[in-house]
A and B are shown apart, each in its own frame.
Chain A
Amino acid sequence: MKTYQEITITPINNVDSRAVKTGAWRTWRPVLIPEKCIHCYKCWKVCPDVAISVESPEEKSLPVWDYDYCKGCGLCAFECPKDAIEMQREVDQ
């Protein structure tokens, strides 16, 4: 137990939110159809959850979803100009 002299005056948040796996919120899972992808990276650009990463755009790498954090909002699938992202219903594990 810390005394009042030892604790900071205001609480400080210093743990990165990656500790919170918001992927558990998801009902619909975005799945990429690689043949249709034209590497425009619009999905990466729109993702509000920073759950899509692009390794190297110069070498036309495919966008990668981090399903630990993807909340399944469907923005990527909606914005995709080639309909290369399919929203699939999550099945109970």
Chain B
Amino acid sequence: MAKLTIPKEEIMSPGHMGCQGCGATMAMRYALKALGKKTMISVPACCWAIIPGAWPNTCMQIPMQYTAFEVTGASISGIRAALDSQGMQDVNVVGWAGDGGTVDIGIQALSGMIERGHNVIYICYDNEAYMNTGIQRSGSTPYGAWTTTTPVGTTEYWEEGQKKNLMEIVVAHRLPYAATASVAYPEDFIKKLNKCLEIPGPKFFQVYAPCPTGWKSSPELSMDLARKAVTTRAFPIYEVEHGKYKINRKPEKTPLSEYLMLQGRFKHLPEKEVEFLDAHYEKEWKALLKLEEMTQDESLGNFM
């Protein structure tokens, strides 16, 4: 029996300006399938400010508002308050920002939004650099990556900091629901979005969205890279519901070099650096498993 595993309705139109094999457009397509037409979306400066198209075109069949780089959180708080005062509680309000607009520039607005407890969904699509402006490093860029501001040459080196753990920052606010997702697992992403629509209060998502242009990878590999990021433990898929961790995918570990060497941004890494990175991801994974185990304790109750 042939069956579609994700909703059939398309709320995103073709003809958008996304690059070939763009992970961010895949993420938006899946998110809109889950959220439905009664959704308002606010987008700061990021790839998605360009993707809908040049004026007067737009690929969105729902209202979308462009906002400044640092205020996605404040913007969706305002939209929610305005809708509530008009009695429109059934509209989903979504903030859709890139990783730079979330982990670096927009983090105070995000923090304020969660603290105030608005009933909104904040989705950060993570392509691990400022891709729209020309591949500059962001707080979300992983160790070892080439970007235009961390060039690899004789005198300069690759990105030397580890990827910022945004989920832990967000979870520290004790919000009702936060989750990571990946475009490689659309069913999982859609299931989580449907689930979070039932939960009142602020919700947060970090979606892994490969970027062939910035990662110097082949466009047809986008989904494969997202899948490999999960299996190599570089980007684990988990959710935190009322403070309780749950790892949604615990696949067999695959060698990290298989994932790194498909991307031009990691091609320069010598073997010992790959091993160092692998050890770091393994450590993070173990810590995550422990967190999952610890937070299952019933005596803790719900954090929020």
Contacts and interface: CB of A to CB of B under 8 A. Distances in A.
Chain A interface, >50% SS class: loop
A17 B14 contact: yes
B26 A13 contact: no
Contacts of B14: 17-18, 22, 49-51, 66, 68-69
Nearest to A60: B2
B57 A20 contact: yes
Nearest to A16: B13
Interface in B85-107: none
B53 A48 contact: no
B interface, size bucket: 35 or more
A57 B2 contact: yes
Chain B interface, >50% SS class: loop
A14 to B, nearest CB: 6
B220 A17 contact: no
A48 B57 contact: no
Contact of A75 (B13, B16, B53, B220): B220
Which of B20, B219, B221 is most buried by chain A, counting CB atoms within 10 A of its CB? B20
Contacts of A21: 15
Contact of B57 (A19, A40, A73): A19
Given A41-B4, A45-B6, A79-B223, A16 B58 contact: yes
A15 B13 contact: no
Given A17-B58, A58-B2, A48 B22 contact: yes
A45 B5 contact: yes
Given A17-B53, A45-B5, A50-B12, A73 B219 contact: yes
Contact of B25 (A25, A44, A49, A68): A49
Interface of A: 11-22, 25, 39-41, 44-46, 48-51, 54, 57-58, 60, 66, 68-69, 71-75, 77-79
Given A16-B58, A75-B21, 16 more contacts: A11-B56, A13-B52, A15-B56, A16-B13, A16-B59, A17-B15, A17-B58, A17-B59, A18-B15, A20-B15, A22-B17, A49-B18, A49-B25, A73-B222, A75-B223, A78-B220
What 10 A-B pairs have minimum CB-CB distances, sorted nearest first? A74-B220, A69-B14, A17-B15, A73-B20, A13-B58, A73-B21, A17-B59, A78-B220, A73-B219, A39-B2
